[in-house]
Structure 1
Amino acid sequence: MRVMKWSMIALAVSAAGTSQLATASSQDDSKGFVEDSTFSINTRALYFSRDFRNNPSGPGTKSRAEETGLGFNALYESGFTQGTIGVGVDVIGLLGVKLDSGKGRAGTGLFPTGSDGRSQDDYSKGGGAVKFRISDTVLKIGDQYTTAPVFASDDSRLLPELPQGISITSNEIKGLKLEGGHFTSSVAQNQTYHDSLGLTKTDFVGGVYSFTPEFTGSLYYAKTEDYFRKYYSNLNWTHALSDDQSFALDFNIYDTKSEGAGLQRAEKDGTTKLDNRAFSLQGAYTIGAHTFTLAAQKVTGDGDYGYGVDGGGTVFLANSIARSDFNAEGEKSYQARYDINMATFGIPGLSFMTRYVTGSGANTGTTSNGKEWERDIEAKYVVQSGPAKNLSLRLRQATYRSGDGVYYGSPSIDELRLIANYPLNIL
C-alpha cells in the first residue's frame, strides 16, 4: 500500500512541476492589516438528547442524558501588512452557556462536569495566533483550527476543539496545496485547559493535488508522540454525466501503527499495540434533486482505527457517521444513503437525508463477530434572504443498536439533536 501512496505523490510532484506559477501572489494583492480584516460571530443553540433505553441499572449508570446550551464562536482575522513579508494576527473567543441540564441528565459532552456530577453553568476559552505570509505561503503560530485528515479539530458539540501549535500552508504551485504542522496541545470541546486531550506532540505533513478539475489525490503523514504514526491517502473523482446528473467516487485509507509508549492500544487486549489499515470506498450518483450513495468500509490488522488525541475529527472514513465510526478491529460495514435537495421543487435551502449502516465481524475481546447498525435521519433548512439570512436549522435523529451490547456501554441508543446556527459577519 505504501508503494501506491508514494507513486501517487511522485506523480503529483511531476505533474505539478509542469504547472505554471501564479503571476500575482496573494501577498502582492494585500491591501493591508486593517483593510483585509474580517470579524465574525457564529451563534449555536444545541439541544442534545441521548436515550440509552435498555442500559443495565446500577451504580454510575443512567438511562438518559439530555442538555441544552448556547455557544458563541468569535473569530477576528486581520489582513496582512504590505511588503515582501506580510504580518497579521487571528484572535479566537469561545463562550458556552448552559440553558438546561441536571445532575441526572449530564454527560452529553456539551459542558465541563464538576466533581458533583453537574455541568458547569458556563465556560470559555480562546487564544490568538500570529501569522506571516510570503507570496502564497502562510506560517501561523498559536491557537488555530485544523482540518488536515491526520489532525482535524472536532466541532460536533457546542464549541470546537482548539489546538495550539505551528502550521504552514503553501499554494505556490497551481493545483497543489502543501501543508505541515507541529502541535503540542489542544483544548477539548467541553474543556478549557490546554492539555485536556492528552496531546504532547503531533507532527504532520501532506498535500492535495488536482490532477484534473475532476480528479484529486492527497497524501499525509503524521506522528503523535507516545501514540501512533499514521499514513493517509485519498482519491476523489467527480464526473458530470449531463446538466443534472453526476457521479462521484471517493476512496480513503489510513495506515496506523503504535509508536513509543503506544498509549492507545487495541481494545481487545491491553497489551496489544495498534497495527492496522482502515479504508473506505464511496460512490454517489446525483440526478436532479436526488443523490444515492453506497459505501463499504473495512478495518484489517491489529486493533481499532485509533484517533482522538490527534483531534476528534481525524476520521475521514465513509462510515464514520453520527453515532458510530464502525472502526473496530476486523469490522466490515456497508452504507446506503439518500439525499434530496428541495430547491428543485421550489423550496431553496431545504434538504433531507437518511442513511443506514450495518457492521459485522468486529473483534472486541468479548466477541470475534460483533455486530452493530445505525440509522440516521436529518432535515435542514437554511434561510436564503432577509435579516436572518444564513441561519440554519437542523434536526438530526440517530438510532443505534449493537447485538452484543459491547459498544459505547449500551446496546441501544436513540439520539436527537436540534441545532440552530447563525453566522454573523461583522466585518
Structure 2
Amino acid sequence: MRRFCGAALAMLGTSALAAEGGGFVEDTRWHVLQRSVYEHRSYLHGDRSNGGRNASLPRARRSDYAQEWGYGVMGTLASGFTPGWIGFGVDAHASLARSLDGDDLRVGKIRMLPVDGAGYAQDGIARGGVALKARISATVLTVGEQRVKTPVFSASDSRLLPETMRGWLLTSREFDTLTLQVGRFTGSTDRHARGTNHPLIVNYLDPKSPRGDVFDFAGGTWKGSASLSLTAYVARLKDTWRTGYLGAHYTVPLPEKRALSFDLQVYRSKDTGRALAGPVDNTTASLMTSYAHGPHRVGLGWQKVAGDTPFDYVTRGAVWLGNAAQLSDFNAPHERSWQLRYEVDAARWGAPGLSLGAAYIRGSGIDGSRVPPRGGYAWLGYGQGGRHWERDLWLRYTVQQGSAKGLAFLLRYGEHRNNKAQAELNTRQIRVALEYPIGSD
C-alpha cells in the first residue's frame, strides 16, 4: 500500500512539474483589445413606450429610436504558475469605455454604456478585477473576478465590454477527452456596469422580484472523437430554481468536402428551496442540423419550450439554444420555433477572412395564460396566441496578414416583429463594430 501511494504521489508530482511550463514570469501572457461599436435601434409600431426608449423621461419626450456609439479598451494579464507541487498564479483585467455619441434622449435597451439611478446616460466606464489561481497537475482553482464559459453560467461579450463574474471555479483536465468543472458565484458584472459589486443577473425575472444570491454548478464535456462531444451540467440558483443541461454535437464527414452535423441542447428547470420566483417547471430543447459543402453551410433549427414560464438563465451568455438570436431568445411559455440559416466563407472566392450569413427564425404557439400571477414572470405580460419572427444578416472581415493583422470589422442587421401576445419589442437594429487586438501571444 505504501509503495502504491508513493508511486501515485510521484506520478502526480511528475505531471505537476511537467505542467509548469516556463514558470510564473516566463508563461505570463498579456492581451489588449480595442473595440468601437455603433448601434442604432428603431422601435416600431409605438413600442417606444415599452422600454425601448429611456423610461425615465415623460412619455411625450421619448423618441422612436435608441442610438449609442462607444469606444472600449480591454486589457488582460495572465501569469504562469510558480514552481512546485502546487503552483500559484494571478489573473487580472481592466476595462475602459467612453461614449462617442449618445445622450439622455437616445439611451434605451442597447446597454452599451451605463445609466445613473434615474436612467440617464453616463459618459464612461472604468473597472477591473483580480483572480488568484492555484494548480495541481492539470487541475486549476481560480478565485475572484473572472470570465466563465459553460452552458449554464457564461460570460457574454456581445456589446462594448465583456461580462465578468465573482466567485470560484475549479477546472480539471486530467484526462485528454474529459473536462470537468465545479463553481460557486455570488455576483456578476454586466457589460455596461461601472463597478463590479453587483448581484447575479437573471435575465427575465422581474427586477423587483426576490431571487437567490448564490449560483452553484457542476458538470463537464467529454470529447470522444473529433466528430462527437457530450456535455452535462447541473446548476442551482439558491432558493429560486435548479437547472439540468444536456448537450451533444455530432458531425458525419461526407465525401468531397461535405459534412452533416447535429447540435442538441436540452435544459430542464424546476423551482427549489423557497421558490422565490414562484413555481417553475420548464423543459426547453433545440436541435440544429447543418449541411456543409465547401465554403457553404445551410442549417435548419427547431426549438420547443414546455412550461408555463419562459426559459430563464443566470448571466447574459448562458443560453446555448439553437434559436437564441440577436434580438430574441424565442423562449416564451409553450413557444415552438424554427430557423433557416445560411453561412459562407468567402476565402474560396479570393477573400480570406471574409464571411457572410443570414438567418430567419419564426416562433408561434406562445401561451402566457398560465403564468403564475404572483410569480416573478407575470410582469412580462405574455398573452395567448403569441407569435413573432426575426431575420438577421451579418458580415465579418478579419485582416489575415500585414501590420493590421487581426483587425476585424463586423456589420449586423436585425429585425424583429411580433404581435401583442409575444410581449417583446418590434425593432430594427444596425450594429457596426471594429476591433483590433494586440498581445504577447
Q: Tell me the TM-score normalized by structure 2.
A: 0.86
Counterpart for residue 197 of structure 2: 194
Q: Determine if contact 2:186/2:200 at 8 Å carries over to the other structure.
A: no
Counterpart for residue 82 of structure 1: 83
Q: Find the partner of 1:165 among 159, 163, 167.
A: 167
Q: Determine if contact 1:66/1:105 at 8 Å carries over to the other structure.
A: yes
Q: Find the partner of 1:418 among 432, 436, 439.
A: 432
Q: 2: CA distance between counterparts of 1:39 and 1:56? A: 44
Deviations along 1:368-420, one digit per CA (max 9) or x if unpaired, are: 22000000000110000111111110000001000226422x3x200111011
Letter in 1 for 2:229: T
Aligned partner of residue 230 in structure 1, secondary structure: strand
Counterpart for residue 321 of structure 1: 325
Letter in 2 for 1:162: T
Counterpart for residue 4 of structure 1: none
Counterpart for residue 45 of structure 1: 36
- How far 1:274 moved relative to its partner? 1.5
Q: 1: CA distance between counterparts of 2:409 and 2:428? A: 20
2:156 is equivalent to residue 140 of structure 1: no
- How far 1:36 moved relative to its partner? 0.3
Counterpart for residue 383 of structure 1: 399
Query: Are residues 255 and 405 of structure 1, via their aligned partners in 2, closer, same or farther at CA, if it must alter by over 3 Å?
Result: closer
5+ long unaligned stretches in structure 1: 1-20, 266-272
Q: Structure 1 residues 57-66 or 143-152, which shifts more?
A: 57-66
- How far 1:300 moved relative to its partner? 0.3
Query: Are residues 347 and 300 of structure 1, via their aligned partners in 2, closer, same or farther at CA, if it must alter by over 3 Å?
Result: same
Q: 1: CA distance between counterparts of 2:385 and 2:308? A: 15
Q: Determine if contact 1:376/1:397 at 8 Å carries over to the other structure.
A: yes
Q: 2: CA distance between counterparts of 1:77 and 1:92? A: 9
Q: Find the partner of 2:129 among 118, 127, 130.
A: 127
Q: How many residues align?
A: 396
- How far 1:243 moved relative to its partner? 4.6
Aligned partner of residue 348 in structure 2, secondary structure: helix
Q: Structure 1 residues 239-248 or 381-390, which shifts more?
A: 239-248
1:283-302 aligned at under 5 Å gives the runs 283-302=289-308
Counterpart for residue 408 of structure 2: 392
2:256 is equivalent to residue 256 of structure 1: no
CA RMSD of aligned residues (A): 1.9
Counterpart for residue 155 of structure 1: 157
Aligned partner of residue 159 in structure 2, secondary structure: coil
Q: Determine if contact 2:186/2:199 at 8 Å carries over to the other structure.
A: no
1:10-409 aligned at under 5 Å gives the runs 24=15, 27-56=18-47, 59-60=58-59, 61-107=62-108, 108-115=110-117, 117-191=119-193, 192-197=195-200, 200-265=213-278, 273-307=279-313, 310-365=314-369, 366-404=382-420, 406-408=422-424
- How far 1:116 moved relative to its partner? 5.3
Query: Are residues 97 and 223 of structure 1, via their aligned partners in 2, closer, same or farther at CA, if it must alter by over 3 Å?
Result: same
Query: Are residues 106 and 181 of structure 1, via their aligned partners in 2, closer, same or farther at CA, if it must alter by over 3 Å?
Result: same
Q: 1: CA distance between counterparts of 2:287 and 2:17? A: 36
Aligned partner of residue 148 in structure 1, secondary structure: coil
Query: Are residues 138 and 63 of structure 1, via their aligned partners in 2, closer, same or farther at CA, if it must alter by over 3 Å?
Result: same
Q: Determine if contact 1:254/1:279 at 8 Å carries over to the other structure.
A: yes
Q: Determine if contact 2:19/2:138 at 8 Å carries over to the other structure.
A: no
Aligned-residue sequence identity (percent) comes to 35
- How far 1:72 moved relative to its partner? 1.2
Letter in 1 for 2:282: N
Displaced runs of 4 or more, over 3 A: 23-29, 56-62, 196-199, 260-265
Aligned partner of residue 221 in structure 1, secondary structure: strand
Q: Determine if contact 1:27/1:134 at 8 Å carries over to the other structure.
A: no
Aligned partner of residue 283 in structure 1, secondary structure: strand
Q: Tell me the TM-score normalized by structure 1.
A: 0.89
Q: Structure 1 residues 27-36 or 292-301, which shifts more?
A: 27-36
Q: 1: CA distance between counterparts of 2:223 and 2:94? A: 35
Letter in 2 for 1:249: F
Aligned partner of residue 151 in structure 1, secondary structure: coil
Query: Are residues 280 and 424 of structure 1, via their aligned partners in 2, closer, same or farther at CA, if it must alter by over 3 Å?
Result: same
5+ long unaligned stretches in structure 2: 1-11, 50-57, 202-211, 370-381
- How far 1:261 moved relative to its partner? 4.0
Q: Determine if contact 1:27/1:82 at 8 Å carries over to the other structure.
A: no
Q: Determine if contact 2:388/2:422 at 8 Å carries over to the other structure.
A: no
Q: 2: CA distance between counterparts of 1:26 and 1:188? A: 38
